[in-house]
Structure 1
Amino acid sequence: MTLTQSLILGTGSYAPSHILTNQDLEKIIDTSDAWIVERTGIRERHIAAEGETTSDMAVEAAKKALAMAETDPAELDMIIVATISPDMPMPSCAVFVQAKLGATRAFAFDISAACAGSLYGLSIADQFIRSGQAKRVLVIGAELLSRVINWNDRTTCVLFGDAAGAFVVGPSNDPARGLMSAHLHSDGAAANMLTIPGGGSKYPQSEDVIAKQMHKVAMNGREVYKFALRVLPDAILEALAAHGLKPGAIDHLVTHQANVRIIESVVDRLGVPREKCWLNIERYGNTSSASLPISLDEANREGRLKPGDLVAMMAIGGGMAWGSALMRW
């Protein structure tokens, strides 16, 4: 029995209108535009408006993806939201998205794989489509990180921004086009590198947890950097090897935008020309699970991605969780 390949039918993205520049941050904390740009490549990031929620951003990105895919929300079979900053701990962000879209047929749930969440979501959607259990799946990466950042910690607050990205996945009617494979990994032994330690069962919300800022992002940036440089090239090579391909076959590399130095180092190690890699980190910062679908949407809307092009994707985030995927666009 030949299983149906899944194809991304539409992409969409959204970023709040308020932009926080490096010059703005210079007025808040002990940092500088030059320091931030040199170490991260980030020049500005978007910050959600007061009262704006993660599901609000997710819906805006979803509407654009659905319009491109010519899919009515009522046609959706399932909705997957990748996020570490949902509207509330329970219920899922995805059910709020479902209600706001009017996607009454779809079942909806969240996944938590930090910056790799959208890649994990794409893989899950692919399995449902290949098995015939779903025809239209909405995958969203949405993060409102400005509310889980310690704005007094200059090592983390300069990095993150708020945004959402989405794609609609469905069966491919062309056997030469679609998701070829996804390769996912986790290493819980490295979990302490990037965490929000407070607010769960280990450190329940309390005055002490809040006073110590344990409900905010904590990161060992040096170790995350080293870990990413070690595993990301291997993840892409793993995906290529599964299909007997070499890095030279890649037409486009679409990646989570965590740090420009990480991206450039991985691209150089693979021997892929830098111009094949989509970069937008200077305009958004690290938007975690939203990053990869935003990059995919921008490359798609600029007409970079042509039918049949080999698109390689990679992402890494807290967990540690990472992975790669190959798609014939």
Structure 2
Amino acid sequence: MTPTTAAAARPAARTLPQPIHYGQRTGVTARILGCGLNLPPHELDNDALAEWHGLSARERVQLRALTKLSGVRRRYYVEPGTTHTELAEPAALRALEAAGLEPEEVGLLLFCATGQDQAIPHNNTLLQDRIGARNAFSFDVKNICASFATGLHVAAQFIEAHPEVAPVLVVSSEVNSPFLHRGHTHLYNIGVLGDGAAAMVLGATDNVGREGFVAGIHRVDPSGKELIRITGGGSRVLERDGVPADIANYSFWTDPQGLYAKAVETFVPAMLELMEATGWRFEELRWVVPHQAAKHGVFGVAAEAGVPKEKVYATFPFFGNTASASLPMAFAHAVAEGAIERGDRILLACPGAGAVSSAITLIY
């Protein structure tokens, strides 16, 4: 191979992923047909939370102080022993009902969550069996708190390339409460995190630019990989010589300040690039529906980007942070409350651990 030929074969220098315009290639994009929400049975205010975890009098005082920082006053917990797919089933069925569809009509099912019921088979198979979506192709999508937003992106790409795959059922369900261990999990995280599930059904439309998904941006900065973790559950931490892994390895740990700084560094620029690529201003949006990290992670990051506070749809005060399920839960809640109506311009905004930046503009 001559030097000239070798140079021509070499790919161009790689840059960060740029905004993607959905529907630009084929004239077909995804649109939301219906959504559903499922809340666990145990609604806990701070007093009930303290009882659940057996907090001391001193810890209860600390929890009240931390609540002022987080803004989380209530959250929901599953009944102990409940799995991700058990929690997801009602949300999936409600989304299908809202879309006027039966489970047998689903062409693709994506289960998007941080956690899982078991090592194998994965959540997608277990939920597909639960709801009777026997004609669907399915798989799991995992990208920490941005799992659902990433799943929407994957679904939109499938629909754009192969519209016949629609309808697509995108589900997120998070059972965080079993990983919140007093003495191993920071009290801030015990106060903030909750359980919950939500789902969306996507269809295809050729009305590109007037309804459905408009544009998206999806990036990962792996320098943030140590800012949040549960080390157990994989090959990194195993039972050795008959001694089980320590409970600390199955406890949720995070660096809230580090996560916020990383979101400002990486997510804010990505969100601004997406809005510019879409050709929208924040004032033209009905809502920014973000990942419900907590007060600072929602309103603080929004302020850094110049988003007016009144444009931010917040459910963290009464749902808490439900990881990847928080964004679709907030969206489903807004639809149920009549806060989102057909024709509204929406920005789905999801900074996540890792560090992940995922955002989508759409017309509902």
Segments of 4+ moved more than 3 angstroms: 205-210
Q: Distance in 1 between matches of 2:315 and 2:358?
A: 20
Asked if 1:137 corresponds to 2:159, the answer is no
1:68 corresponds to which of 98, 107, 110? 98
Q: Distance in 2 between matches of 1:270 and 1:320?
A: 17
Match of 2:44, SS state, is: strand
2:217 — aligned with what?
183
Match of 1:157, SS state, is: helix
Shift of 1:134: 1.3
**Residues 101-139 of structure 1 deviation map (CA, whole Å, 9 limit, x = unaligned):** 100011111111111111000000000100125111110
Q: Distance in 2 between matches of 1:270 and 1:188?
A: 22
1:98 — aligned with what?
128
2:312 — aligned with what?
277
Aligned residue identity for 1:230: E
Aligned ranges for residues 107-146 of structure 1 at < 5 Å? 107-132=137-162, 134-146=165-177
Shift of 1:244: 2.5
2:202 — aligned with what?
169
1:34 — aligned with what?
64
Moved more, 163-172 or 263-272: 263-272
| Aligned length, in residue pairs | 329
Aligned residue identity for 1:236: M
- Contact 1:198 1:209 survives alignment (8 Å): no
1:288 — aligned with what?
323
Q: Distance in 2 between matches of 1:63 and 1:35?
A: 39
- Contact 1:40 1:259 survives alignment (8 Å): yes
Match of 2:292, SS state, is: coil
1:24 corresponds to which of 32, 48, 53? 48
1:10 corresponds to which of 25, 34, 49? 34
1:149 — aligned with what?
180
- Contact 1:314 1:325 survives alignment (8 Å): yes
2:74 — aligned with what?
44
Asked if 1:319 corresponds to 2:354, the answer is yes
Gap regions ≥5 residues in structure 2: 1-24
Match of 1:258, SS state, is: coil
- Contact 1:36 1:43 survives alignment (8 Å): no
Moved more, 117-126 or 169-178: 169-178
Q: Distance in 2 between matches of 1:10 and 1:128?
A: 18
- Contact 1:115 1:318 survives alignment (8 Å): yes
User: Structure 1 residues 248, 209: closer, same or farther in 2, change over 3 A?
Assistant: farther
- Contact 1:125 1:137 survives alignment (8 Å): yes
Shift of 1:6: 0.5
- Contact 1:6 1:130 survives alignment (8 Å): yes
Shift of 1:209: 6.0
Q: TM-score, normalised by structure 1?
A: 0.94
Moved more, 77-86 or 286-295: 77-86
Q: Distance in 1 between matches of 2:256 and 2:135?
A: 42
Q: Distance in 2 between matches of 1:307 and 1:119?
A: 20
Gap regions ≥5 residues in structure 1: none
- Contact 1:3 1:131 survives alignment (8 Å): no
1:77 — aligned with what?
107
Shift of 1:100: 0.7
- Contact 1:235 1:314 survives alignment (8 Å): no
Shift of 1:212: 5.1
- Contact 1:199 1:205 survives alignment (8 Å): no
- Contact 1:229 1:262 survives alignment (8 Å): no
- Contact 2:350 2:359 survives alignment (8 Å): yes
2:261 — aligned with what?
226
- Contact 1:83 1:111 survives alignment (8 Å): yes
Moved more, 19-28 or 167-176: 19-28
- Contact 1:257 1:291 survives alignment (8 Å): yes
2:274 — aligned with what?
239
Q: Distance in 1 between matches of 2:96 and 2:308?
A: 32
Q: Distance in 2 between matches of 1:75 and 1:43?
A: 40
CA RMSD, 1 decimal: 1.8
- Contact 1:251 1:276 survives alignment (8 Å): yes
1:203 corresponds to which of 221, 233, 237? 237
User: Structure 1 residues 14, 212: closer, same or farther in 2, change over 3 A?
Assistant: closer
